[in-house]
């Protein structure tokens, strides 16, 4: 990663490109012509007689052969030499890309384009493109890696200077994410810790409950004054005001009050999809948990469930519910 200072330097340099033309306007080497139209239509599977059949096209509203609008950029493409331009920049766009490449933003991905067409091109039209670096985003974190989105806008004009259309094209210049290290050469090197589920913070009001899970029990807090059961645990009884309490062990028998199947987003440490479940325990309290051992498409509200203590690989224990067969 770049130091803050280097990054500031880089950003100053790249943002100076915004608003600049990539070079002088470029006029296509060939005027609009039938052979190029035919070749393009062949490649694209385009069969409209307006593009291909001089006789039919003459009777059309166009009064003669026209070029497919989507070809607009094809008339001004500059060929292989520009592809080579990344190492020895031939225009401002490539200079901008090189600055980023040299700073480690080596990847490039086309992300999206928008095009607009003002009129059909007729045989003999000469197309000129004037391309400007329109926008550079702030640094973004993407799935491919961190980088900058660069938008260029080409404006196309004809031999009389009238606008034919425009096109924006956006690329991401980015630092490619490092692929996950496969099995390390020297075995026994520290493996990164396997992600695990988020742990509850342990405080006065809840750590005893989690400790009971570790001991294999699902507990329900019971008021020391009026014996009312409550869950999740709290320090005072809302019914009688007593701060005395103990706990009873739940049978784990319950029914499903409601649930959701969580598909997205997928956090590390959990297996998706998750069937998150709110369970009415037979003791009369409701408990948040999840369901395993059941296809999520078969889950339904009211189904009988049995809670068990599940222990993760890292030793963390919590109640999980499974479908219960004896439904009496």
The contact set with another protein (CB under 8 A) reads 197-206, 231-232, 234-241, 243, 257-265, 267, 270, 274, 276-278, 285-286, 288-290, 296, 301, 316, 318
For residues 160 and 167, the answer to whether their CB atoms sit within 8 Å is no
Please state the closest distance from residue 235 (CB atom) to another protein, in A. 4
Of 95 and 257, the one with the shorter C-beta distance to another protein is 257
Please state the closest distance from residue 223 (CB atom) to another protein, in A. 11
Output the CA–CA distances (angstroms, integers) from residue 9 to 5, 15, 103, 149, in the order listed.
6, 10, 11, 18
Of 31 and 236, the one with the shorter C-beta distance to another protein is 236
Q: Which residue has the tokens 């600055």?
A: 99
- Cα–Cα nearest to 312, from 193, 196, 213, 210: 196
Q: Which residue has the tokens 């899970």?
A: 213
Please state the closest distance from residue 117 (CB atom) to another protein, in A. 18
Rounded to whole angstroms, the Cα distance separating 292 from 325 reads 14
- Cα–Cα nearest to 230, from 239, 238, 221, 217: 221
Rounded to whole angstroms, the Cα distance separating 30 from 33 reads 8
Please state the closest distance from residue 276 (CB atom) to another protein, in A. 5
Please state the closest distance from residue 319 (CB atom) to another protein, in A. 9
Of 32 and 275, the one with the shorter C-beta distance to another protein is 275
Please state the closest distance from residue 261 (CB atom) to another protein, in A. 4
Q: For residue 223, what are its two tokens?
A: 């008021």
Q: Which residue has the tokens 């806008």?
A: 153
Of 40 and 296, the one with the shorter C-beta distance to another protein is 296
Rounded to whole angstroms, the Cα distance separating 301 from 149 reads 47
Rounded to whole angstroms, the Cα distance separating 206 from 211 reads 9
Of 250 and 289, the one with the shorter C-beta distance to another protein is 289
For CA atoms 239, 243, 249, 252, the dihedral sign is: positive
Please state the closest distance from residue 300 (CB atom) to another protein, in A. 8
Angle, helix 4-15 to helix 92-102, in steps of 10 degrees:
170
Of 129 and 136, the one with the shorter C-beta distance to another protein is 136
Of 19 and 241, the one with the shorter C-beta distance to another protein is 241
Rounded to whole angstroms, the Cα distance separating 144 from 108 reads 10
């Amino acid at each position: 990663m770049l130091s803050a200072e280097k990054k500031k330097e880089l950003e100053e340099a790249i943002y100076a490109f915004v608003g600049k033309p990539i070079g002088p306007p470029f006029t296509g080497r060939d005027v609009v012509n039938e052979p190029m139209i035919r070749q393009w239509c062949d490649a694209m599977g385009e069969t409209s007689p307006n593009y291909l059949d001089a006789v039919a096209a003459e009777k059309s509203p166009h009064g003669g052969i026209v070029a497919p609008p989507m070809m607009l950029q094809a008339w001004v493409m500059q060929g292989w030499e520009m592809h080579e331009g990344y190492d020895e920049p031939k225009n401002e766009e490539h200079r901008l890309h090189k600055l980023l490449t040299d700073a480690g933003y080596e990847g490039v991905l086309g992300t999206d384009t928008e095009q607009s067409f003002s009129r059909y091109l007729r045989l003999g039209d000469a197309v000129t493109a004037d391309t400007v670096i329109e926008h550079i985003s702030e640094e973004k974190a993407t799935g491919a890696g961190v980088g900058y989105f660069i938008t260029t806008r080409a404006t196309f004009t004809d031999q009389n200077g009238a606008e034919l259309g425009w096109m924006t094209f956006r690329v991401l210049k980015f630092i490619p994410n490092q692929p996950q290290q496969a099995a390390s050469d020297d075995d026994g090197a520290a493996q990164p810790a396997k992600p695990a589920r988020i742990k509850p913070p342990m405080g006065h009001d809840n750590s005893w409950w989690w400790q009971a899970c570790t001991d294999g029990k699902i507990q329900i807090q019971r008021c020391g004054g009026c014996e009312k059961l409550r869950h999740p645990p709290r320090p005072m009884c809302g019914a009688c005001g007593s701060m005395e309490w103990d706990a009873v062990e739940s049978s784990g028998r319950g029914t499903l009050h409601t649930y959701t199947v969580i598909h997205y987003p997928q956090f590390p440490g959990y297996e998706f999809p998750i069937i998150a479940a709110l369970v009415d325990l037979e003791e009369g309290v409701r408990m948040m948990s999840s369901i395993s051992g059941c296809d999520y498409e078969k889950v339904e509200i009211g189904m009988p469930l049995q809670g068990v203590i599940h222990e993760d690989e890292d030793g963390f224990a919590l109640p999980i519910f499974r479908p219960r067969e004896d439904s009496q």
